[in-house]
Structure 1
Amino acid sequence: MNAGRHLLSRVWTELGADPRLIRDVHAASIPVPLPSRLSTGDLAWASVAAVVCAAQGDAATLDPHRIAAAYRSDRFLTIDGTAPPVWSPFSGFWRTVDGWVRTHGNYAHHAAGLRSALLLDTTAGADQVRDALAVRPSSVAVAAITAAGGLAVPVLLEDPDVDAMLRSRPLLDVRRIDSPTAPPRRAAASTGRPLDGIRVLDLTRVIAGPVCTRTLAVLGADVLRIDPPHLPEPGWQHFDTGHGKRTALLDARSAHMHDLLSAADVVVLGYRPDALDRLGLAPGDLTERYPGLLVARLSAWGAEHPRRAGFDSLVQAESGIAWIESPDGDRPGALPAQALDHSAGYLLAAAVITLIRRRAEEGGSWQVQTSLRRVAAELLGMPRRPEPAAEVPFDPAHHVAHFDVAGQTLVTAAPAIPGFDFAAPRPWGEDQPRW
């Protein structure tokens, strides 16, 4: 059985979904063109196919080139004809005395933590960071950067035992909680788009969570994204994944958050588990307080590491993916897309769609969670090839969408899901926090 088809079958079993919906699904006639040594294309195909089967019951029309474009959406994004700077100069691989580290400094506070840990002033640039890291052992550098509020991990070789242990657990961990007093919740629409009428509260940021909620929005859900007022989002980042959502600013401790949660059908969480615990937004707290709610949570490292922040690039580096994808055996490499993020987002969206249906049939409250590290373990257990396939050229004009957003001309990747079109993103934070 093809690796992508095998993964789709296992995900379907974990979700308790109707097996008839994937009975006639076959793998793509051509591979998804995401060249790598690992089975990145198969992972991408299975993740998107799970959404399509959950929503429509037919993955036969999936376009491998369109999936690849969606996974590489940051490469297609332009604002007024210009590609925005996707990576900060403080995000990347750096040599140390005994190896390599990977840092993430796209957010200003993480870049500040990096400089502070390396005893650099606030005007220091990438060259000074390079020089400072070059004289430090990896473990010392990572510990100092983490303690100062920055983000860094060592670039490690894979550990097959750790990955096997992670794969022994569900990729999508689904739990039903009895809620005999739960008020009626909306079911998916029987006509129109599959999620018409479903309210989704989006408490996520940075690719994986926003991809999940963007997918729910294109399928008809009323998605309201809430961000904390003190943590600005880069405008380009929201434009890349904000399609079809309203977006507002609200302190999670506000009493108004209760009004939003009590009227939501689904809440999607994407912040560190310990931060959610402090705010009373842990899945268990939410399903206890709001019976019948469906709570979908993703994190970088999993619930067993509640205090660790992270991003796709950091998980690739620490899990061993960076060395497997090394271009020359001397320097670490990366997957051809932020595939852990995108796959986690699509898989979680497939779970939400399926569990909305199961909730209507079985009642109760529902929780589902996954992590980028768990997705990485899945990828590391799939077949490999000695060298990446060659890049496959294709015309991007057939795989992008065009919008006007507040007077700005925006070009983004088109939906990976056939038969649906994105609505334009809204300017970040400019809507009211209400349904």
Structure 2
Amino acid sequence: MVKSSFSLLFGSMVRELGLEIAQPSVAVTGKGELSSRFPVTEFATASLATAGCALRALLARPDAPLYIDQRLASYWFSSSHFPVNRAPAALWDEFAGDYATRDGWIRLHTNAPHHRQAMESVLGVSKDKSALAQRVTAWGKTELEAAIVAAGGCAAAMLSHDEWLKHPHGKTVAAEPLFWQQLHAEAPRPALALPPARPLAGLRVLDLTRIIAGPVATRFLAGLGAQVLRLDPPEWEEPTLVEEVTLGKTCARLNLRSAEGREQFKALLADADVLVHGYRADALEALGFDAETRQQLSPGLIDVSLNAWGWHGPWRNRRGFDSLVQMSSGIADAGMHWKNTGRPHPLPVQALDHATGYLLAAAVLKGLQVRHEQRQGYSARLSLARTAALLMSCPAGDQSALAAIGPHDYQPMMEWSAFGLGNRLNFPLRLAGTPVIWGTPPAALGSAKAAWG
């Protein structure tokens, strides 16, 4: 019997995390799939199921019913929040997108102002996207990619999967595990209370993540009762995402480049149970907070991190985003051939970000189990590039269209925040006796003090 893509993906995820899962372990409900060359809906369902199984293992409730609605999972991998009587913020900067070079395609990522400025330092300031496209045609794709990256920007030339596997960094990613895991020295941490209804109540999560993957992880932890304190640099904004990902969190600003900010961070970390960070590979180390120092500051810390391109190889410190990883790894090229178009065809949603987010959350829950049972610290590292490799290892099966969102798909109460009124979709994961619910609405970045409540 041929295994489904869900079974293959879910099996790989739980096996690499080291979870012991009894069968049948997850009930999948809902119908329909996102249209893609790859099994994106099954990918979404499997990553949520892995987080659910890690939660069930932490609670020592192996027989508790666990349900994943694959239709809602598909929608949550796009957006869970829908503003009422106001237009949603634009998802992309006007110059972000795919451009034809003289020898192929390149994607320019210009959402952050400094990334757009880096692009313009190479290509000049264009009056509109058509004018920029004309400038790009004079370049070779890898030549332009290298120039923009050297200027501090973000770009990715489109490669086929075969080209990626032969690429020096692609070879490195293929050899990496999905989860890098490490146990640390025993620490005098008390046992966790783990009340089933709010299992992470009282736990402090320090969140140094931005954009999608890391914030998705900490949003899930907040939904289980954790106190999540998100720290952003001065001036950083995410107008397109803040309502989507700050649900249940306290959001503050802290300048880690200043001596005062680093001292404040030390104090916050000392009182944290969990640290989730999405800096590039050596960024925290360069600020004086390497892995050993973090464990010394907070013995028994659960320390889970994300990097776009992986943890070894020539691109380990390169800036990266989901859409860029899709271009380099062969996803956009494969989609182009599958769709029979003449331009890159990415995944229908930012699936690498969202899936990695739930896998980050699963690693945190695994770490909390280690701390609870063994009184040890724990660390794990994941990457978008390695998550992409897992997705590409499975073919998509027959696909049927997802039913449109209806009134019954929204949570009973509308959500009111400083941004206005909105609807939130029902969460796709249900573990009997342990609801995923958020105690506070979305919060503006920098709206609170950098302190534990």
TM-score when normalising by structure 1: 0.91
1:127 is the counterpart of 2:130: yes
1:4-403 to structure 2, matched below 5 A, reads 4-20=6-22, 23-26=23-26, 28=28, 33-56=33-56, 57=62, 58=64, 60-73=66-79, 77-78=82-83, 80-120=85-125, 124-159=127-162, 161=165, 166-179=173-186, 182-185=187-190, 187=192, 189-230=194-235, 232-252=236-256, 253=258, 254=261, 255-304=263-312, 305-326=315-336, 327-385=339-397, 389-401=399-411, 402-403=414-415
C-alpha spacing 1:166/1:416, structure 2 compared with 1 (3 Å)? same
How large is the Cα RMSD of the aligned pairs?
2.3
CA apart distance, 1:414: 3.8
Deviations 1:143-163 (A, max 9, x none): 221122221110110137466
Decide whether aligned partners of structure 1 residues 428 and 400 sit closer, same or farther in structure 2, where only a CA change above 3 A counts.
farther
Does the 8 Å contact 2:211/2:238 carry over to 1? no
Q: SS of 1:420's equivalent? A: coil
**1:8 CA drift (Å):** 2.4
What letter matches 1:300 in structure 2? A
1:90-139, Cα deviation, whole Å (9 max, x unpaired): 21110001100011111111111111111336xx3322211110111112
Cα distance 1:407–1:86, how it changes in 2: closer, same or farther (>3 A)?
A: closer
1:234 aligned partner, one-letter code: E
Secondary structure of 1:205's partner? coil
Change (3 A) 1:188 1:36: farther
Distance 2:200 2:391 in 1: 29
- 1:73 and 1:412 in contact (8 A); partners too: no
Whether the 8 Å contact between 2:325 and 2:384 is mirrored in structure 1 is yes
Q: 1:131 to 1:188 in 2, by over 3 A?
A: farther
What is the distance in 1 between the residues matched to 2:351 and 2:376? Answer: 33
Q: In the alignment, is the contact (CA less than 8 A) between 2:305 and 2:381 conserved in 1?
A: yes
Q: How many angstroms apart in 2 are the aligned matches of 1:192 and 1:250?
A: 33
Q: Which residue of 1 aligns with 2:436?
A: 420
Unaligned runs of 5+ in 1: none
Cα 1:77–1:92, aligned 2, differ >3 Å: closer, same or farther? farther
Give the letter for the 1:395 counterpart: I
CA distance in 1: counterparts of 2:143 and 2:426, whole angstroms: 43
190 and 27 in structure 1: CA distance in 2 versus 1, 3 angstrom threshold: closer
Return closer, same or farther for 1:119/1:81 CA change in 2, 3 Å cut-off.
closer
The equivalent residue for 1:431 is 448
**Which runs of 4 or more aligned residues in structure 1 lie more than 6 Å from their structure 2 counterparts after TM superposition?**
none
CA distance in structure 2 between the aligned counterparts of 1:398 and 1:291, rounded to whole angstroms: 46
C-alpha change, 1:80 and 1:431, in structure 2 (3 Å) is farther
3-state SS of 2:427 partner: coil
CA distance in 1 between counterparts of 2:123 and 2:84 reads 34
SS at match of 1:77: strand
Q: How many residues align?
A: 425
CA–CA separation in structure 2 for the residues paired with 1:212 and 1:276 = 19
SS in structure 2 at match of 1:277: helix
**What is the CA–CA distance in structure 1 between the aligned matches of 2:85 and 2:444, rounded to whole Å?**
15
C-alpha contact 1:155 1:320 (8 A) present in aligned 2: yes
The answer to whether the 8 Å contact 1:240/1:412 transfers is no
- The 10-residue stretch of structure 1 (249-258 or 8-17) with the greater mean CA deviation from structure 2: 8-17
Contact kept? 2:266, 2:297, Cα under 8 Å: no
Contact 2:409 2:425 in 1 (8 A): yes
Could you say if the C-alpha distance between residues 93 and 206 of structure 1 is closer, same or farther in structure 2, counting changes exceeding 3 Å? same
Identity %: 34
> Structure 2: which 5+ runs fail to align?
57-61
* Contact in 2 for aligned 1:219/1:420 (Cα 8 Å): yes
Q: CA deviation at 1:421?
A: 2.9
Cα 1:199–1:325 change in 2 (3 A) is same
CA deviations on 1:237-283 (whole Å, 9 max, x unpaired) are: 11111110000001124211111100000000111112222123343
Cα distance in 1 for residues equivalent to 2:291 and 2:123 = 37
Please identify, of 254-263 and 80-89, the stretch whose mean Cα deviation from structure 2 is larger: 80-89
Are the aligned partners of 1:186 and 1:197 in contact in 2 as well (CA < 8 Å)? Answer: no
Higher deviation after alignment, 248-257 or 237-246: 248-257
CA 1:258–1:61 in 2, change beyond 3 Å: closer, same or farther? same
Alignment partners' CA distance in 2, 1:90 and 1:284? 41
Residue 175 of structure 1, CA deviation: 0.8
Give the drift of 1:37: 1.3
Q: Distance in 2 between matches of 1:416 and 1:390?
A: 19
CA separation in 2, counterparts of 1:433 and 1:46? 35
Shift of 1:400: 3.8
Matches of 1:277 and 1:127 in 2, distance apart? Answer: 41
Given residue 137 of structure 1, which amino acid in structure 2 is its aligned partner?
G
